[in-house]
Amino acid sequence: MENLLTSNIADTFLTQLQCPQCGAVYAASDLNTVCRTEGCHSTLFAHYNTTVHFDKRVLKLRPANMWRYREMLPVINPANIVTLGEGFTPIIPIVNSPNVTEGNEVLIKNEAGNPTGSFKARGISMAVSKAKELGVKTIAIPTAGNAGGALSAYAARAGIKAVVYMPQLTPDLFKDECRLYGADLVEVDGNISDCGKLIHDQAAEKGWFPISTLREPYRLEGKKTMGYEIAEQLNWQLPDVICYPTGGGTGLIGIWKAFDEMEQLGWIGPERPRMVAVQSESCNGIVNAINTNSDSASFIDGGFTIANGLRVPKSYADKIIIKVLRESRGTAIAISDQEMQAGVRELAINEGLFVAPEGAALWQAYKKLKASGWINYGERVVLVNTGSGYKYLENIDRDLW
């Protein structure tokens, strides 16, 4: 079956890094963060040689993890891959809520089964692998919870030192997880943006390589594998709508990038899902930007939300997120903590799924968009649940039970 890849088999088709805003090109062999063009400073995208014949049937014999798409991933030497078995998570249909789903096929892409319990394992596996390949000794990350635990685990696996800055209001489980894996944990009286500023100020002085969301090129490459999997698991027929919980937005951008790459490879056609960014009412800058027809999001921090991953006052790549939503004819919607609490309970008791509050927000967003007529009869909808509800037990109101 491997002979279906008729070109010389390569470990990666990676060619270069490029800025999607100004077009500046950077060598993939160098350690890069963001675009260095004056006044730009955009996230950098990895580019691949998609003119090589790559038959998707070769995937059938490969392991069920995200590295099955290795030619379209940026690690050059496979010896540098740092993996704990992340990726190829199941797509599960909603079956016991016909009063809500009638007329639609609603599917949950359930990322809870990833190592460390969330989709962060994908991006962190990729970033740590590439950092190892480029000789990095210490990685620092600002996190609302899950990314810190993932970095701590993957850095331990790689033999790289991890430094994690985390808001004090983060549930203790996330803090204990980092300490257990041996990371240096710093609690910050503030939000994830405050954590990021502190790391940025200290990284050069202390020799850390910071991997803040979308301020280095490779976490995006791990997250994009969700897009490849959605296509493959649905027999290369993309859904009509994808709802995605949007804090930093790496996954939403990555999924969209994956669709473009697969079209260039000839694996799918030009049809695309409508992308929906789902935010917390506490941090709803993307929603406001879409509603006011703005090209960028304002900084909004309404304080604590039970969906820790959604407390991102302003994404570094807000302009790219908004561009994806507009290109896809998508939208953005904000959900309250009370609605998330109810969604967690509803999916648990009806479907046997204990999703993160971020995943519950998607369920509530689907119901609202369907009720408004934005989601049409007969459409297939994928909700990307980004993590396990077990990690959020401190946040969830016990009175619901």
- C-alpha closest to that of 211 among 284, 128, 290, 294: 128
Separation in Å, CA 399 to CA 338, 342, 346, 348, 390? 12, 11, 14, 15, 16
Instruction: Give residue 400's pLDDT.
Output: 65
Instruction: Give residue 373's pLDDT.
Output: 97
Instruction: Give residue 251's pLDDT.
Output: 96
User: What would the pLDDT profile of 59-92 be if each residue is shown by its tens digit?
Assistant: 999 999 999 999 999 999 999 999 999 999 999 9
- C-alpha closest to that of 339 among 321, 322, 357: 357
Give the residue with greater pLDDT, 8 vs 93: 93
Give the residue with greater pLDDT, 128 vs 11: 128
Percent of the chain scoring above 70 in pLDDT: 97
Instruction: Give residue 160's pLDDT.
Output: 97
Residue 395 scores a pLDDT above 70: yes
Give the residue with greater pLDDT, 394 vs 182: 182
Residue 401 scores a pLDDT above 70: no
CA 394 to chain centre: 23
Mean of the per-residue pLDDT values for the chain? 94
Residue 42 scores a pLDDT above 70: yes
User: What would the pLDDT profile of 357-383 be if each residue is shown by its tens digit?
Assistant: 999 999 999 999 999 999 999 999 999
User: What would the pLDDT profile of 259-288 be if each residue is shown by its tens digit?
Assistant: 999 999 999 999 999 999 999 999 999 999
Separation in Å, CA 336 to CA 169, 309, 392? 18, 14, 16
Which amino acid is located at 226 in the chain? M
Residue 8 scores a pLDDT above 50: no
Kindly report the number of other CB atoms within 10 A of residue 331's CB atom: 21
Confidence of residue 10 (pLDDT cuts 50, 70, 90): low
Phi and psi angles of residue 201, each rounded to the nearest 5 degrees, phi first: -70, -30
Confidence of residue 318 (pLDDT cuts 50, 70, 90): very high
Confidence of residue 6 (pLDDT cuts 50, 70, 90): very low
Residue whose token pair is 């041996």: 182
Confidence of residue 44 (pLDDT cuts 50, 70, 90): very high
Confidence of residue 2 (pLDDT cuts 50, 70, 90): very low
Confidence of residue 9 (pLDDT cuts 50, 70, 90): very low
Q: Residue 17 and residue 24: Cα distance in Å, rounded?
A: 8
User: What would the pLDDT profile of 300-313 be if each residue is shown by its tens digit?
Assistant: 999 999 999 999 99
Give the residue with greater pLDDT, 201 vs 126: 126
User: What would the pLDDT profile of 119-138 be if each residue is shown by its tens digit?
Assistant: 999 999 999 999 999 999 99
Residue 60: CB partners within 8 Å, gap ≥ 6? 1
Query: Averaging pLDDT over each range in 9-13, 111-115, 301-305, which range is the top one?
Result: 111-115
